[in-house]
Chains A and B, each alone.
Chain A
Amino acid sequence: MEPIIQITDAGYRYDSLQEVDHSHWAVREVNLAVNKGEYLAIMGPNGSGKSTLAKMLNALLLPVEGRVEIQGLDTRQEENLFLIRRIVGMVFQNPDNQIVGTTVKDDVAFGLENLGVPPEEMVKRVEEVLNQVGLKGMEKSFPHHLSGGQKQRLAIAGVIAMRPDVIVFDEATSMLDPIGRDEVLKAMKDLHQSGITVIHITHSIREALHAERVVIVANGRVERDQPSKELFRQPEDWAQWSLETPLFVELKNRLLKRGLPVRQEITGMEELVEELWRLMSRT
């Protein structure tokens, strides 16, 4: 399959004004290919460089070393920028700080206005995408009257109206309550099913498991890159990356330590329940 995003030996360094000598690499030697139609999670703790990596995917940040190519377009080439941003849309962390429009309708239209879409076509597309994210009938609502989840769905609508091939969710669920988070996760799943490439940046293993493939980033480097199903095949020290160990993994490890003959390769809660029941009913 043809990768839609190709990252080769990419690195990024923030030049801190205060500590010129200590400017450090936020991302270093990253190699990553994202295929068209994939649902990928990039997971890492705070400060791991995952958000920097996310912003390199649509040329908001340009690699200091190496290359990032979107459908073969090099992000460092100024003339590619506009096209790249049509291909890769982005939903950010803070729901408030990405809404430009004074009403829901105006905000969805913002990207389309930038693209120069004719007004009649815009009206049609706005209606269509608001339907798609479940905000139908709220065209005239003011952004500050929306819930966190609704604001993020509005942001998603604004992005999909531009018909991108890839949508990057840069920690888009981290400021939401559980209801809002589920709304956004469902939207991601729907987008993936409609053929859009979804890249979810998160620090939550539970959320990353919704994806087909998980890339773990720590200290600016890619530490793991594997199908999510295989994430728990090998014993892994999640704490080394300051990631929260899933409860079933932690429980399994603790029970093993206490001498219970639990199977090592357990990949989910249901499976562990099954295993425990089997163990306990054997006697």
Chain B
Amino acid sequence: MEIDVQNVTHVYNAGTPFEHTALSNIELKIDSGTFAAMIGATGSGKSTLIQLISGLIVPTSGRIRVGDWEIGPETKDFSELRGRVGVVFQYPEHQLFEETVAKDIAFGPTNLGLSPSKVKERVRHAMEWVGLSEKLASRSPFHLSGGQMRRVAVAGVLAMEPDILVLDEPTAGLDPVGQRELLNRIRDLHQKRRITVILVSHSMEEAARYADQLFVLNRGKKVLEGSPASVFATGEQKLAQWGLEVPEAVQLATRLNERLNPPLANDVLTLEDLEKEIVARWKGDSC
């Protein structure tokens, strides 16, 4: 499903002393099947933007097209959008409420009006996708570890089988191993099921590793978009002004390229790229 954001502005508490423009004149397009990342410091408006795309709030002006569904300031009924766009909020384990893991995951598909047997199947698949053992299905979600609770919450969204999956800081508070595992599973799903993923993150490392398209927001405006390599080519200083850090691998490559003549042959985004480039250069040099 394609997403087209057309000249969208969003103002909170309009007409009161607390008026605050969260987004102004945003234009962006995300093609179907993209793994996109929305990056920006706190207060950049990225969280407002994903709520608009998910149909949880309506824009003050402008339009948002999600597939053949359109959201404008006047939109009231979002029922058609539910189930097509799944949202994993920050610390999603804080929304768990059911007695058992399986029941909690079933909440979304049941709301979609699916038959009990279909719901059951969805729950089973969703648990498999996030790597939860079947044995946990009848356990209370509140007696699981933090990492497991996070997976239950993500499974609850995946069970709706959305075409677009929005993740707001999905790895916050997880340890490095848990972070990597969760995002790897999301990427697998993205590749296998061709869903569109929108990842909201502070971490440029994550954006560099997983996304094919980055959108950089700053104070409610879109300041940059493009492939990770092109965004990082903007330079550390410029990105730092927007409260963002360049991934360490890119930093290291930049420092190295400042000295090497000629610089490394290809763009570097991750540790693996760096390894490959340096080894290639070394082998090329020594023979």
- Tell whether A pairs with B: yes
Instruction: Name A residues whose Cβ lies closer than 8 Å to a Cβ of B.
Output: 18, 45-47, 147-148, 174-175, 177-180, 203, 239, 242-244, 247-248, 250-251, 254-255, 258, 260, 269-270, 272-273, 276-277, 279-281, 283
Contact A269-B282, Cβ < 8 Å, known A179-B243, A251-B275? no
Which chain A residues border B174 with CB–CB below 8 Å? 46
Which chain A residues border B279 with CB–CB below 8 Å? 255, 258, 260
Residue in B closest to A44 when the chains form the complex, CB atoms: B175
Does B41 contact A203, Cβ atoms closer than 8 Å?
Answer: no
**Total of A-B residue pairs, C-beta within 8 Å:** 81
Query: Majority SS of interface residues in chain B?
Result: helix
Query: Majority SS of interface residues in chain A?
Result: helix
The reply to whether the CB of B256 lies closer than 8 angstroms to some CB of chain A is yes
Does A269 contact B252, Cβ atoms closer than 8 Å?
Answer: yes
Does A248 contact B252, Cβ atoms closer than 8 Å?
Answer: yes
Residue in B closest to A245 when the chains form the complex, CB atoms: B176
Contact A260-B282, Cβ < 8 Å, known A174-B173, A179-B42? yes
- Distance of A243 Cα from B177 Cα, bound (Å): 8
Does B245 contact A276, Cβ atoms closer than 8 Å?
Answer: no
Does B252 contact A18, Cβ atoms closer than 8 Å?
Answer: no
Which chain B residues border A177 with CB–CB below 8 Å? 41-42, 202, 243
- Distance of A56 Cα from B64 Cα, bound (Å): 53
Q: Which bucket holds chain B's interface residue count?
A: 20 to 34
Which chain A residues border B248 with CB–CB below 8 Å? 247-248, 269
Question: Can you show 23 pairs from A to B with CB atoms below 8 A apart?
Answer: A18-B143, A46-B175, A147-B43, A175-B173, A177-B202, A178-B245, A179-B41, A179-B42, A180-B42, A247-B248, A247-B249, A247-B252, A251-B271, A251-B274, A254-B271, A255-B278, A260-B282, A269-B255, A273-B259, A280-B278, A280-B282, A283-B285, A283-B286
Does B275 contact A255, Cβ atoms closer than 8 Å?
Answer: yes
- Distance of A211 Cα from B79 Cα, bound (Å): 52
Q: In the assembled complex, how far is the CB of residue B94 from the closest CB belonging to chain A, in whole angstroms?
A: 12
Q: What does the 1/0 interface line of B247-266 toward A look like (CB < 8 Å)?
A: 01101100110011000000
Other than the known A18-B143, A251-B275, A255-B275, what 19 A-B pairs have Cβ atoms closer than 8 Å? A45-B175, A46-B147, A46-B174, A175-B172, A178-B41, A178-B202, A178-B243, A244-B176, A247-B248, A247-B249, A248-B248, A248-B252, A255-B278, A260-B278, A260-B279, A269-B252, A272-B252, A280-B278, A280-B281
Residue in A closest to B143 when the chains form the complex, CB atoms: A18
The reply to whether the CB of B226 lies closer than 8 angstroms to some CB of chain A is no
Q: Which of B106-160 contact A (CB under 8 A)?
A: 143, 145-147
- Distance of A18 Cα from B142 Cα, bound (Å): 13
Which chain B residues border A279 with CB–CB below 8 Å? 282
Which chain A residues border B146 with CB–CB below 8 Å? 46
- Distance of A270 Cα from B258 Cα, bound (Å): 12
